[in-house]
Structure 1
Amino acid sequence: MKQRTYIDRMVKLGMLTALSIILVYLIHFPIIPSLNFLLYDMADVPILIGTFLYGPWWGLGLTAVVSVLQWILVSPEGQWVGAVMHFFATGSFVLAAGLIYQHNKSRTAILFGLALGSILQTLMMIPMNLIFTVNFYGYPKDAVVAALPLISLFNIIKTVANSILTFLLYKRVAKLFERDLVKPKILPNEKNA
């Protein structure tokens, strides 16, 4: 029985991973015209839903898998830097939201967790941009520092939009995921045994 539950969880986490990759691949667009390399996507919504369903550590694992798959399948020229930035940014969001919800499974806890996670992800992207955008993408530090207010605005918009979508979809997905996807098959010979 325990193995079935584990397999069921892995199947559902795999579905959320696939959905995250599909969303980042199909739906992405710039929000701030002067920073058209910053693209909004909804890839974090399935990750956050998985976090609320299974806990913060499963959510962090989901973040790691999605980050690597985005790097391999979606990133232009296979840049690993984006995967690292995504892992730290979304990971901070997931841990904050997931730990809060894990201790108090209520709508208020979801809202508070999403709000705190949005703030932490936005703050996390400041040093990530100063380190990675300057050192690996080759942008001058002065230009990155000057762009930080707009980068932060982008991250606020992205995290708030993803938080709203997560809040609206979480309970619906949870009801779907309550079903046991991995059911043992009883063979005709086993019925009489």
Structure 2
Amino acid sequence: MSTTISSNTRKLVTQALLAAVAIVLVAFVHFPLIPAAPFLEYDPADIPIFIGAFLFGPWAGLGLTVVTAIIQGLTVSASSGPIGIVMHILATGTFVVLAGSIYQRHRTRKGAVVALVLGSLAMTAVMCLCNLVFTPLFMGSTVGAVVQMLLPAIIPFNLAKAGINSLVTYVVYKAVSRVVFQEKS
């Protein structure tokens, strides 16, 4: 029983740390990737969330996404308000549920690559839909204006952001995993 408590405590503390790192990352690292759309800012905050999904599974990743999105949306990203929170949950949530599910079944390097690529594509598709629905509300633009931004800005930005975050996740995941799951001597 104490092993279960210790394991559950380690999982909870690790998830809290991953959420904290995500919030610190978005607070200090954010910059535009596409000069024509400076409001689309890259941030590495999803990396700890992606790692959490790989470590603990898709539903833990989704929980981590919701907690992080709400905290970010109420603090460091407050200007995006409830719309930003919803978009973050939908996009990152889609990624972690899909990629986390694939990686949970195929815990290999190839499984990780497939999970990250498919997660990035799904996240980009969801962000296209979210931008069509929410950007007119948030920025007061028309759906037509958003459609015109899809190919030159929104799709490349989301592919780049998800791709960069996936690549970093791929590179650092095993090292983080070894630290999280190291056994006491």
TM-score normalised by the chain length of structure 2: 0.94
Q: Deviations over 1:97-119 (max 9, x none)?
A: 10001111111000000000000
Residues 1:12 and 2:8 aligned together: no
Counterpart of 2:164 (choices 141, 161, 167) is 161
- 1:99 maps to which residue? 101
Deviation at 1:75, TM superposition (A): 1.4
Q: Distance in 1 between matches of 2:50 and 2:105?
A: 16
- 1:22 maps to which residue? 24
- 2:84 maps to which residue? 82
Count of residues in Structure 1 that have an aligned counterpart in Structure 2: 181
Percent of counterpart pairs with the same letter? 42
Q: Distance in 2 between matches of 1:54 and 1:71?
A: 24
Larger Rg: 1
After TM superposition, the runs of 4+ consecutive aligned structure 1 residues lying more than 2 A away are none
**Contact 1:24-1:42 within 8 A present in 2 as well:** yes
Q: Distance in 2 between matches of 1:102 and 1:77?
A: 35
Q: Distance in 2 between matches of 1:172 and 1:38?
A: 30
**Contact 1:50-1:58 within 8 A present in 2 as well:** yes
Query: Structure 1 unaligned runs (5+)?
Result: 182-193
Q: Distance in 2 between matches of 1:141 and 1:176?
A: 46
Residues 1:38 and 2:48 aligned together: no
**Partner-residue secondary structure (3-state), 2:139:** coil
Residues 1:176 and 2:182 aligned together: no
C-alpha change, 1:180 and 1:19, in structure 2 (3 Å) is farther
**Contact 2:72-2:78 within 8 A present in 1 as well:** no
TM-score normalised by the chain length of structure 1: 0.90
Which residue identity does 1:58 align to in structure 2?
A
Which residue identity does 2:161 align to in structure 1?
K
Q: Distance in 2 between matches of 1:157 and 1:120?
A: 13
Alignment of 1:60-75 (within 5 A): 60-75=62-77
